[in-house]
Amino acid sequence: MAAELVEAKNMVMSFRVSDLQMLLGFVGRSKSGLKHELVTRALQLVQFDCSPEVFKKIKELYETRYAKKSSDPVQPHRPLDPLSIHSSYDRGSTVPRTSISTANIDYPVLYGKYLNGLGRLPSKVVKPEVRLVKLPFFNILDELLKPTELVPQNSEKLQESPCIFALTPRQVELIRNSRELQPGVKSVQVVLRICYTDTSCPQEDQYPPNIAVKVNHSYCSVPGYYPSNKPGVEPKRPCRPINLTHLMYLSSATNRITVTWGNYGKSYSVGLYLVRQLTSSELLQRLKTIGIKHPELCKALVKEKLRLDPDSEIATTGVRVSLICPLVKMRLSMPCRAETCAHLQCFDAVFYLQMNEKKPTWMCPVCDKPAPYDQLIIDGLLSKILSECEDADEIEYLVDGSWCPIRAEKERSCSPQCPILVLGSSDVNGLLPTPNGNSENGKPSADVVDLTLDSSSSEEEEEEEEEEEEDDDEEDGPQPKRRCTYEKGLVSAC
């Protein structure tokens, strides 16, 4: 048994990536990762779980990859084990499987590691791989197909690239047992991602023109174009991962995916991934766990920004920060900003994540620069200020790192409180004399005048004329008091 283990280890050490993936797929283990990771996983399999079937599979793969020496017994027409049949190319075949290795295929066909119809790279040519940007709302569980170039088969503008793969029992179980984000949408999904074939940097999702995706016998919906309200501006299309789960066979049966695309000069690559879709609440909880910046570090940042610049002619003594979120114009609850931002102003993390969950842009609403999820931090100092300062909507940071609230002055009322007088009625609280009463000098009491009326030059002239007439009447003798022409009621006395 020890000799068989040593022999099995030597065989595994000589395997290529496709052989390692085939072996690991045979026992239902993960086939993703670099070659050294696959070798380590396969050696652990040999060391701790090398059953006769596994040893037989290792020997078969070794014999397939390398020609036997003349001293070894030759079995050119050895029948295939039903458990080792992983490709439609092998079914019913009685020839050795060495013919598969001459087809320049570096991925096994089963379990989505190679999709026929897509571009095939020679096994000995190592090229930089296309990488896709990491999406915060999608946690990758397995890589079913590495980004593979869409190669046109002819000179037609409309091309079709068929793909065939199957899910492992473990992957099927993950999908079935995952919770539903909404009716009919599982959190664990098989998604298709398409991008430009560019190896210089991680690529964002980008659809080719005339794209259509068919899964088995049904077409999958692809996000359409956003209408443009501006003249001369072309409508934009949101390029996101395409969820294929609801149209797939959740069993050991193979799934066929056909990508239809327009060949107009640009090169595109496609990849298949098993992902777990996250919600904005989950991302917020993760940010609250690992993304809070200590108040003292935030205070040091304030001091750094307000430090006197010897080359500046204007000394900065403070900077104002609003406690209102620029996204929803409401008071901040979870102050957040990107570490790459140069400003101290924050936005609300709750609304920012919800907005990007519906339409992912990841742009800072303050400075309009990229603010990806991995760069977000929660300002611990401003969080503390929000709990201590509840009656102000703005604060000012000072040079020493301290802060003070800025409260808006309340508008003074332009209509002061005035006593109320009753005109043309009987004596109320002794404020008005009786209609027939005379003054102490025997003169009739003065008329009551509404002082709230706006004065003008014409009214002043009328009052002067009335006073002259009263003086003339006093000289002639006492005259009966004139009746007040104002209507009875309440008026302001000021």
Residue ranges per domain, the chain? 1-67, 138-226+237-278, 282-307+318-406
**Mean pLDDT of the region 227-255:** 85
Q: Once rounded to an integer, what is the mean pLDDT over residues 473-480? A: 52
Per-residue confidence at 325, pLDDT binned at 50, 70, 90? very high
| More confident call, 247 vs 471 | 247
pLDDT digits (tens, 9 = 90+) for 397-445: 998 889 999 886 544 444 444 444 444 444 444 444 444 444 444 445 5
Kindly give the interhelix angle for 380-388 and 295-305, rounded to the nearest 10 degrees. 100
Q: What is the pLDDT of residue 459?
A: 52
Mean pLDDT over the full length of the chain: 75
257 Rama sector, left if φ>0, alpha if ψ -120 to 50, beta otherwise: beta
Over residues 294-309, the mean pLDDT reads: 86
How would residue 118 be classed by pLDDT, with cut points 50, 70 and 90?
A: low
Go through 389-427 and write b for each residue having 16 or more CB atoms within 10 A of its CB, e for each that does not.
beeeeebebebebebeebeeeeeeeeeeeeeebbbeeee
Q: What local confidence, expressed as pLDDT, does residue 235 receive?
A: 77
Average pLDDT over residues 48-72: 70
pLDDT tens digits along 140-156: 999 999 999 998 988 88
Q: In b/e form, how buried is each residue of 39-64, taking b as 16+ CB within 10 angstroms? A: bebbeebbeeebeeebbebbebbbbb
Structure tokens belonging to residue 33: 């990762």
**Average pLDDT over every residue of 186-212:** 94
Residue 300: band (very low, low, confident or very high) from pLDDT cuts 50, 70, 90? very high
* Residue of 487 and 184 predicted with greater confidence: 184
The model's confidence at residue 247, banded by pLDDT at 50, 70 and 90, is: very high
Nearest to 288 by CA among 218, 349, 200: 349
Adjacency order of strands within the sheet including 318-322:
318-322, 394-398, 403-405
Among 95-109, 222-236, 371-385, 431-445, which is the least confidently predicted range?
95-109
pLDDT at 105 over 90: no
Residue 133 has pLDDT above 50, yes or no: yes
Phi, psi of 313 (to 5 degrees): -85, -20
Among 173-177, 179-183, 388-392, 408-412, top mean pLDDT goes to 173-177
CATH class (in words) of the domain with range 282-307+318-406: alpha beta
Region 95-114 average pLDDT = 36
Positive or negative, the CA dihedral 107, 109, 114, 118 is positive
Mean pLDDT of 68-92: 38
What the block records as the tokens of 153 is 């088969």
- 84 close to 108: Cβ distance less than 8 angstroms: no
Per-residue DSSP letter, 123: T
Higher pLDDT, 266 or 97: 266
Query: What is the value of pTM for the model shown?
Result: 0.58
Mean pLDDT check: name the lowest of 376-380, 473-477, 483-487. 483-487
b (16+ CB within 10 A) / e for 122-138: ebeeeeeebbbeebbbb
**Residue 472 confidence (pLDDT):** 53
Q: Which CATH number fits domain 1-67: 3.40.50.1220, 3.60.15.10, 1.10.720.30, 3.90.1310.10?
A: 1.10.720.30
Which CATH superfamily groups domain 138-226+237-278? Answer: PINIT domain (2.60.120.780)
Rounded to an integer, the average pLDDT of 201-230 is: 88
In the predicted structure, residue 204 carries a pLDDT above the cut 80:
yes
In the 8-state DSSP scheme, what is residue 211?
-
- pLDDT band of residue 224 (cuts 50, 70, 90) is confident
Question: Which pair of structure tokens corresponds to residue 336?
Answer: 């957040």
- At residue 462, the pLDDT reads 56
DSSP annotation of 360: -
User: Which whole number is the average pLDDT over 232-240?
Assistant: 81
N-terminal to C-terminal alpha carbon distance within the chain: 113
Inform me whether the pLDDT recorded for 78 exceeds 70: no
Using pLDDT thresholds of 50, 70 and 90, give the confidence band for residue 478: low
